[in-house]
Amino acid sequence: MIFIGTINVSRTRERGEFHCPSCQSHQNYRLRAKRPWLTLYLIPVVPIGSVELTIRCDSCRGNWDPSVLHLSSMAVSKVEDEQAQHEIFRAMVLFVLVDGYMEVDEVGPLGKLASRIFGRTIGREELGRLCSLAEQTEIPVNNYLESVFQRWNSEQQALAIQALFMAGSLRREMGEERTRLLLWMRQRAGVSEADFEALIQDCLQWEDGSLI
C-alpha cells in the first residue's frame, strides 16, 4: 500500500514593515508563501496548486492579504515624511554648526525654520530637544547630506535647500563650506540655476508671510 497525502508547506519569502490595521501602528511583517505538496510516505514530493501569499504581522500574528501593503501606503508615506522632516532639521542644525558653535540669538529664527520644516509650530522645549539630538551626531554635515539627500523627494530637497540657506544666512557670512554645500545640494537635486534662484527668492519672503 502506498501512502499518498498532501501537506501545506509554508516559508517566509521576505520581511518588511507595514501599517498593521489591527495594531493600528507600524509593525514588522513576514510575507509567507504557502503551497500544497503531494506527499509520498509523508515526504513532500510534488507541489500541487498555486502559491498563496500572506502577510503576517509580527506583533499581533494577524494575517493579511498582500494588498494591505498598498492600502497602507498613505500611512507609510506619512512616516517617511516625518522621517525626512527630522532629517532636514538635523541637516540644518549640522549646517549651522559647521564652524562649531551656535549663537543664542540664532535659536529663535531656527525655531521658525523648524516650524517650516515640520509644518507645525515647534515650541521652545521641543526645539531644544530636537537641537540637542541633532548636535549629538558625530557625522559631519557633508557626510550626513550625502547619506540622506538622495532619499528625499524633490519637494523635500527644495525645502532642505531653502531651510539650510536661511539658517546659513543667520551668520554674518555664509562661508566657503556652507556655500559649497548649497551648490552641492543644487547639483544633486538637479535644480537649474534659475530655479535655484527662485527657491532662494521664495524663502527670503518667509519672514514676512505667515509661519507655515
> Binding segment for Zn ion among 5-13, 59-67, 69-77, 175-183 (CB under 5 A)?
59-67
Complex with Zn ion: residue 57 or 160, whichever CB lies closer:
57
- Please select the residue that binds Zn ion; options are 18, 19, 20, 117, rule is CB under 5 A: 20
Q: Examine residue 55 and tell whether it contacts Zn ion (CB under 5 A).
A: no
Of the candidates 118, 87, 114, 123, the residue with the CA atom closest to the CA atom of residue 170: 114
Quick one: which segment of 20-28, 77-85, 87-95, 144-152 binds Zn ion (CB under 5 A)?
A: 20-28
Burial group, residue 102, by CB count within 10 angstroms (0-12, 13-18, 19+): middle
Residue 24 C-beta: closest distance to Zn ion, Å: 8
Can you read off the three cell numbers belonging to residue 141? 554635515
One of 9, 23, 102, 200 touching Zn ion (CB under 5 A): 23
Stretch that binds Zn ion, among 54-62, 99-107, 143-151, 173-181 (CB under 5 A): 54-62
Cell numbers standing for residue 3: 501512502
Q: Does 91 bind Zn ion (CB under 5 A)?
A: no
Cell of 154: 524633490
Count other Cβ atoms within 10 Å, centred on residue 134: 19
CB-CB contact of 168 with 96 (8 Å): yes
φ/ψ of 10, rounded to 5, equals -125, 145
Site for Zn ion in 110-149 (CB under 5 A): none
Please report whether residue 54 would count as binding Zn ion according to CB under 5 A: no
Pairing of strands 63-64, 43-47: unpaired
Neighbouring residues of 197: CB distance < 8 A, sequence distance ≥ 6: none
46 binds Zn ion (CB under 5 A): no
Q: Kindly tell me which residue out of 55, 56, 57, 85 binds Zn ion, with binding defined by CB under 5 A.
A: 57
**Which residues of the shown chain bind Zn ion in the complex (CB under 5 A)?**
20, 22-23, 57, 59-60, 62
